[in-house]
Chain A
């Protein structure tokens, strides 16, 4: 039925595209001619570099690039509909790494290695792993256990959550979450938050919280998809966020999203927080910022478990199975992975994934976090649990955490309520989750 509905929605678009499509299929190389690659991209800072590179590729090869942008929330729905309707609408798709389980499960993407995309060691292993389905480590969804592992996506936006602090106030950043808290207590004063919590419901608060959860030794699932969100370590992590950090955070943390966090940091109203690479040059240190040169970046600090675990949010490029220009699309990915292309990409606002480019000293002044990002990718960071139920799980945890940040319930309520809902959800979805 999903397919029928998607067909109904997409038929008009498909007819239009079929009428004006280039008609180049399968084995065509990037030899130009009439090939037009249509790329579905997320609208925002993430596709800035891609938009800059596209004309260069056309000039070099003659292959035309058409970038179709959509906001984050729309892009996922559009891609799922397109894949389920088996429409050849896109030749390349930009995808956030938590989307891989869904796209992998429905066999929407074509393996890239047979098309000539080769892994190399200048790119962190975790970057290849996150684009591989089924996942090479961690729990694998029951329906995917017998599938052959294949590289389905290549990172074009290296994105690992990091930590930022005001280095003009304390020259060295916190190395542990104990230090995060003690520094925040020391710095917290009127109109200056010791810690800025990104606490808006669902995805935002979960993105801020997962590195804390993992660094405290907690998790959402164990290796067999049993829910461990209500164990002692997870509870300690929740308490740390909703009790300890909240006490030294900005007012109304439950309404704060990334834009507000960046605004507070950029206007000098906060001491420390987590951050994503994509926010740094455009917002934290962007036009109008009063803290340029005053903010330090480092990997996520260590938790009581002794681990310091960042979270990935890589944006990847994949080739849909229904694309009629698969080889040309793979050739574009190969070109994007070349070192000189990645350097140009970084110079044009892109966030590369190649270690040698991230460590390139000529790029550090304009991108003070590149070197830290390279280290964070090597650490390696965690990815969000590889299940097509993740959106729902994230919504459950994010809503419960948000309630606690708004003062509506305790940390214990968060883990109890969220765990109960997640167990029910996973059982219903056919996972071997015990009650």
Chain B
């Protein structure tokens, strides 16, 4: 056990199986107000302003978007016209396809790299100082604003004086048009995402690994378990809910990826990197079509709700019984 080790609060969690872990809820669910203890009622009262604020902050824009999606600019009710226009635009499906390609590149890469890195550090780095250094290093990409990251990577990829092309030129190789060729442009914008968010996956996975009971691992090792067996039958069991959670967070981020793509390629070449969020921006602010943009936002929101519902089914919500 690495109490106080890098990985923060989650890393110091007691070694308990997931059925009693962070996703577990009280076994005894009491729904009646007066069935609750005084402390529970007090806690709920104290939480009420926060819940209220979150409800208002999250609900009002959504309700406004729904209303806007169902009305024209002059406030007339127009039914599903905006949805019809949104769904009849070929560029929407192109944006969805490009977003899917982008997601299929960044999500597996980030999760596999982050998981691999976490396993490597967990198994090989025992020094607390070194773990702390890695922890800080992993935090750096996460806290840098995406706009700044976009600018830096543009200076890496741009033709002629971009760092990579300068190095290629100095070694006698010809330039690579990272941002002009469609497959390379996808790779270029994906590389920014992977650089910035693999550390996030690493931190979550590393924290999850700290919850694996060391006695289970030691017992397995005494029985001659290989590294793979140890991961497959012990560690993965503890990491599975975290992997699903990370997948959901990263998927949500992929659907709203904007800043660094806008700076690196502006959605180009052509519409190659015009992902869903850039397409939405284009409709809302370049075409000033707030009705259609709201309809798109509602559709994306509905998709996310369905997706989250499906993913939630795989999370151990209440396994204590």
Chain A contacts to B: CB under 8 angstroms: 1-2, 4-5, 8, 73, 77, 102, 191, 200-202, 250-252, 254-255, 260, 263-264, 267, 269, 388-389, 391-392, 394-395, 399-400, 402-403, 405-409, 425
Contact = CB atoms under 8 A, between A and B. Distances in A.
A388 B287 CA distance: 9
B269 interface: yes
B286 A402 contact: no
A288 B161 CA distance: 15
Interface in B60-80: 60, 64, 67-68, 71, 73, 75
A395 B282 contact: yes
A269 B165 CA distance: 15
B149 interface: no
A1 B64 contact: yes
Nearest to B154: A255
B158 interface: yes
B266 A200 contact: yes
Contact of A252 (B73, B179, B285, B287): B179
Given A1-B64, A408-B269, A408-B270, A263 B177 contact: no
A8 B289 CA distance: 19
A409 B75 CA distance: 40
A243 to B, nearest CB: 16
Contact of A403 (B270, B287, B288, B289): B270
A235 to B, nearest CB: 19
B160 A406 contact: no
A255 B64 contact: no
Contact of B290 (A2, A252, A267, A400): A2
Given A2-B73, A250-B159, A406 B68 contact: no
Contact of A392 (B265, B266, B286): B286
Nearest to B60: A8
Interface string B257-297: 00000000111111110000000001001111110000000
B180 interface: yes
Contact of A395 (B73, B158, B287): B287
Given A254-B180, A255-B179, A395-B282, A402 B160 contact: no
Given A5-B68, A201-B268, 6 more contacts: A252-B180, A255-B177, A267-B161, A392-B286, A399-B271, A406-B270
Contacts of B60: 8
A263 B268 contact: no
A301 to B, nearest CB: 25
B287 to A, nearest CB: 4
A8 B285 CA distance: 18
B286 A255 contact: no
A202 B270 contact: no
B213 interface: no
Contact of A1 (B67, B179, B282, B289): B67
Contacts of B64: 1, 4-5, 8
A3 B81 CA distance: 20
9 contacts: A1-B68, A2-B290, A252-B160, A252-B175, A254-B179, A388-B288, A391-B287, A405-B269, A407-B180
B116 interface: no
Contacts of A255: 158-159, 177, 179-180, 265, 268-269
A251 B175 contact: yes
Contacts of A200: 266, 268
B182 interface: yes
Contacts of B67: 1
A250 B287 CA distance: 31
A73 B181 CA distance: 27
Contacts of B289: 392
A1, A8, A403 pick with most chain B CB within 10 angstroms: A1
B295 to A, nearest CB: 13
Nearest to B262: A73
Interface string B229-269: 00000000000000000000000000000000000011111
A269 B270 contact: no
Contact of A406 (B269, B282, B287): B269
A408 B171 CA distance: 30
B180 A406 contact: yes
A422 B289 CA distance: 14
Nearest to A252: B159
B248 to A, nearest CB: 29
A191 B60 CA distance: 55
Contacts of A5: 64, 68, 290
A269 B180 CA distance: 20
A201 B267 contact: yes
A263 B161 contact: yes
Contacts of B285: 73, 77, 391
A254 B159 CA distance: 10
A1 B292 CA distance: 13
Contacts of B265: 201, 255
Contacts of B180: 252, 254-255, 406-407
Given A250-B160, A255-B158, A1 B71 contact: yes
A254 B268 contact: yes
Contacts of B159: 250-252, 255
Contacts of B282: 395
B73 A251 contact: no
B68, B265, B286 pick with most chain A CB within 10 angstroms: B286
A391 B284 CA distance: 11
B158, B160, B267 pick with most chain A CB within 10 angstroms: B160
A273 to B, nearest CB: 14
A269 B160 contact: yes
Nearest to A3: B75
Contacts of A391: 285-288
A2 B68 CA distance: 8
A201 B160 contact: no
A279 B36 CA distance: 68
A389 B179 CA distance: 29
B270 A392 contact: no
A392 B268 contact: no
A70 B57 CA distance: 25
Contacts of B160: 191, 250-252, 264, 269
Nearest to B266: A201
A1 B267 contact: no
B68 A395 contact: no
A4 B60 CA distance: 12
A159 B130 CA distance: 57
B288 A392 contact: yes
A73 B265 CA distance: 16
